[in-house]
Structure 1
Amino acid sequence: MSVELEGNILVTGANRGIGLELIKQLAVKMGGEAHIYACCREPEGPGAEALREVATKCPGKITIIKLDVADEDSMSTAARTVSEKIAAGGLNLLINNAAINKPASPAPLSATTKKDMMDVYETNVVGPFVLAKVLLPLLQRAAEKDSSAKDNGNKMSCRRAAIINLSTMVSSIEKCPETFSTAQMYPYRTSKAALNMLTRCQALDFKNHNILVAAIHPGWVRTEMGGAEVR
């Protein structure tokens, strides 16, 4: 069953891969009052050309926002920009999609440096942590609105106020023996495992505000990060 999306939606890492496809799919399902804030590091750069094309095809529905999830000042500035645009509307859905993988797969221990570990952790874990923190007032604003009718009485849902963190099966400690040989990826695996714990903590903490928090594994996707072959 097709569901028409409403409210304000923010997606990070929106200029390529899964993020770009999310923007395309969300735009198709948007209701008249819905709006997408598509975030990326260089909105005017060549890497965001495809995103700009999508925004052009959906006039008035998509706003491209400059956002670097490895830069706290950038996240604060983006939060202020979004807050000014949505006014009293609140933020209904935050999708933390932006992530990096260093060094290139299969990323064995011998090729991985301390800087790789820190860079990946800062983007994949600290970024979603800080962004949720600075956007929390906007999420609370949306959660406080009376939406019982459209949510069938459910106090928490993606149509009301929610954070979705994109995780991965390779972050699973239990399944590590099944996947480790094909791609060791120490920084990526450990950062996404930490993101899972962050999600769990936020889910318990933000439940008090009726904000849903969940992590999803989208499956393997043929992207620049995902590579050309299924792992």
Structure 2
Amino acid sequence: MAELSVRSVLVTGANRGLGLGLVQHFLRMPKPPQWIFAGCRDPKGQRAQELQNLASKHPNIIIVPLEVANPTSIKAAAAKVGEHLGDSGLNLLINNAGILKANTLESETLEDMSEVYTTNTIGPLLMGQAFLPLLKKAAQGSSGSGLSCSKAAIVNMSSFCGSITSPFIWKQLQGMSYRCSKTALNMLSKCQSLAYKEHGILCVALHPGWVQTDMGHSAGHGPPLTVDESVQGMLKVLSSLSEKDTGAFLDWEGKVIPW
């Protein structure tokens, strides 16, 4: 199996949970990325302290102020990342930031649905648009043929909860806005794969598993997966993806999830 090898990666929601775990695992690679851009809504806040400590020890981590629900913030982040990368482009964009409101069908509101959808679905759409020029540069500058995550890719962090066929943990958590936003994110991932394939960019929706994070615990039961187990699995999957996988909906073990 080919090893994931990227010069640059951007992870949104990188201050805790899976985002922070991804940053930590990129650092541990035999050949870590030259640039690890860690998107974070409040870089100076208490919740970003662990990320700040990590960045102080590793000069290849660049913390980028980024609110994925804010188009102005996204454009500023793209400009900042572009300044660091110059002509080399961005190899890997991981749209990890997401929120969950534990509402039932009866209690769901316009405000909560709008907030969750804006972060979980519209955010990755705008991120793809803003960082497309940098992803194109990376694809054009790659010597390899076909598509791969080492060349240029968008990875949208989805969820089994977004599967219409298999309503994952429905009895434990309805989470209406979350489910709807992730189903829409899956369609966005498919559309991105169709539109961006001609530019040499691979796009997938990836379910990290039911993980022991703040969000994972919100269902009221102990999630089975640790952050380390999930991230290790996901990075192994990303290293194996090729042209045939673009537009797919996969889990952290590489299994295809029904739409």
Fold match, TM over 0.5?
yes
CA distance in 1, matches of 2:54, 2:29: 14
Q: Which residue of 2 aligns with 1:144?
A: 140
Q: CA deviation at 1:3?
A: 3.0
Residues 146-185 of structure 1: pairs in structure 2 closer than 5 A: 146-148=142-144, 154-176=145-167, 179-185=169-175
**Match of 1:129, SS?**
helix
Q: Which residue of 2 aligns with 1:72?
A: 71
**What is the TM-score with the length of structure 2 in the denominator?**
0.81
CA contact (8 A) 1:90 1:140 kept: yes
Q: CA deviation at 1:33?
A: 5.9
Query: Identity of paired residues, percent?
Result: 43
**Match of 2:216, SS?**
coil
CA contact (8 A) 1:5 1:30 kept: no
**Match of 1:179, SS?**
coil
Partner residue of 2:196 out of 206, 215, 224: 206
5+ residue gaps, structure 2, are 225-259
**Match of 1:117, SS?**
helix
CA distance in 2, matches of 1:101, 1:30: 35
**Match of 1:26, SS?**
helix
CA distance in 2, matches of 1:2, 1:20: 24
**Match of 1:9, SS?**
strand
CA shift digits 1:62-88 (9 cap, x unpaired): 000000001000000000011111101
CA contact (8 A) 1:8 1:36 kept: yes
CA distance in 2, matches of 1:162, 1:2: 16
Q: CA deviation at 1:226?
A: 0.7
CA contact (8 A) 1:6 1:30 kept: no
Q: CA deviation at 1:111?
A: 2.7
CA shift digits 1:169-226 (9 cap, x unpaired): 11100001x5322210000000000000000000011001010001111101111111
**Match of 2:156, SS?**
strand
CA 1:33 to 1:41, structure 2 compared with 1: closer, same or farther past 3 Å?
Answer: closer
Q: CA deviation at 1:160?
A: 0.6
CA distance in 2, matches of 1:206, 1:32: 26
CA distance in 2, matches of 1:159, 1:136: 16
Q: Which residue of 2 aligns with 1:111?
A: 107
CA distance in 1, matches of 2:157, 2:180: 14
Residues 1-231 of structure 1: pairs in structure 2 closer than 5 A: 3=3, 5-29=5-29, 31=31, 34-58=34-58, 60-102=59-101, 105=102, 107-148=103-144, 154-176=145-167, 179-227=169-217, 229-230=222-223
CA 1:129 to 1:182, structure 2 compared with 1: closer, same or farther past 3 Å?
Answer: same
**What is the TM-score with the length of structure 1 in the denominator?**
0.91
Q: Which letter does structure 2 place at the counterpart of 1:19?
A: G
**Match of 1:174, SS?**
coil
Aligned residue pair count: 221
CA contact (8 A) 2:158 2:182 kept: yes
CA contact (8 A) 2:11 2:93 kept: yes
**Match of 2:98, SS?**
coil
